[in-house]
Amino acid sequence: MSALPSQPPVPSRGAIASGLPVRVSRLVRRFATQAQAPVDVLTGIDLEVPPSEFVALLGPSGCGKSTLLRLVAGLDAPDGGTVEVGGRPIRRREHPDAVAFVFQEAHLLPWRTLIKNVALPLELRGMPPGERRDRALHMLERVGLRDASERYPSQLSGGMQLRGSLARALVTDPKLLLLDEPFAALDEITRQRLDGLIYELWRERRFTALFVTHSLREAVFLSQRAVMFSRRPAHLVADRRIDFPVERGPELRGLAAYNDLVEQLHHDLLIAEGGS
């Protein structure tokens, strides 16, 4: 009866695996350029992500992380290889509710109030107004924006807009969340707060997450696994598990194990920058 998402809060790690697995095999993507030969961005990437894993995609700027993410979302078509989400090839409009994408900027529609922005995905699939309003409001409550629900995006700060876009992405209760450097433009404190929020939401809902970021600290804080790509054409340089004996919270950032991992990834990144 409840209009809220059916997922109950999950008390402990790994209790329910409700995310979709992602399998990328031999993925090839090249972009045509005007003057020269096509640029190879991805030349045969393999990546397997089990259900409900939180994976950070790292690597030098322009190495093709975002391209990979867009291919997984179905926003772009590969020149070779396959992407499977939930065991099936991703195709146009096949799982409109199951996959959500968070862009670098919030991209809320300026002519809609915050709550109408958050309700948009539900509206587009034809949910009745009352029900989608309830769900959008619940989601806004969850990201701490309930009081701002009737405001327009131009009346919100950058951090609030991004929280709004996160709420919009999660309102359909997706099984796969793709995040393309969503917080790159924010100040450090706001960014850490939002990372904390994403982590909590992931613990509650156990979606699979692919998170493109430039921040190694952010990657270590959030993810269970960090994958490092080389410079173009991208190949995997490192694939590290990230495991901590403690709950992740602000105190994690002071932990020696945390800083060691960041250090290791930094080393990986230097190798990746060196290219091959």
Partner 1 sequence: MTWRRLRRLAVQLGPPLCAALAMLAIWELWVRWAHPPRFLFCAPSEIWHEAVARAGELGAATWKTTVAVAWGFALSAVLGVAVAVILSSNRVVERAFYPFTVILQTVPLVAIAPMLVIWLHAGVRAVAICAFIVSVFPVITNTLSGIRSIPHPQVELFWLYGARPWARLWKLKLPGALPSIMAGLRIAAGLAVIGAVVGEFVAGELGADRGLGIVVVVAAKQGELPMLFAAVALASLLGIAMVGGVNAVAYLLMHRWHVSQRPD
Name the residues that contact partner 1, by CB under 8 A.
73-75, 92-93, 96, 99-101, 103, 105, 107, 109-111, 120-121, 123-125, 152-154, 172
Minimum distance from CB of 151 to partner 1 (Å)?
10
Shortest gap between Cβ of 198 and partner 1 (angstroms)?
A: 19
- Min dist. Cβ of residue 73 to partner 1 (A): 7
Distance from chain centroid for Cα 221: 14
CB nearer partner 1, residue 20 or residue 99: 99
CB of 94 to partner 1, least distance (A): 9
At residue 55, the 3 state secondary structure works out as: strand
Q: Which is nearer to partner 1, 70 or 206 (CB)?
A: 70
3-class DSSP assignment, residue 173: coil
What phi, psi does 25 have (nearest 5°)? -130, 130
Shortest gap between Cβ of 75 and partner 1 (angstroms)? 5
For tokens 């990657």, what's the residue? 219
**Long-range CB contacts (< 8 A, 24+ apart) of 111-115?**
111/152, 112/152, 112/153, 113/149, 113/150, 113/151, 113/152, 114/140, 114/145, 114/148, 114/149, 114/150, 114/151, 114/152, 114/153, 114/156, 114/164, 115/140, 115/149, 115/150
**Cβ distance to partner 1 smaller for residue 209 or 220:** 209
Nearer to partner 1, 132 or 240 (CB): 132
Instruction: Please state the closest distance from residue 249 (CB atom) to partner 1, in A.
Output: 32
Give 157's strand partners.
Answer: none
Kindly state the smallest distance separating residue 69's Cβ from partner 1, in Å: 12
Find the DSSP H helices in the chain: 65-73, 114-124, 129-142, 158-170, 188-205, 216-222, 256-274
| Nearest residue (CB) to partner 1, 93 versus 241 | 93
Which tokens is 197 given?
A: 């929020």
Q: Which is nearer to partner 1, 161 or 230 (CB)?
A: 161
Tokens 């709550």 map to which residue? 115
CB 24 within 8 A of CB 172: no
Length of the chain: 276
Residue placing its CB nearer to partner 1 in the complex, 16 or 124: 124
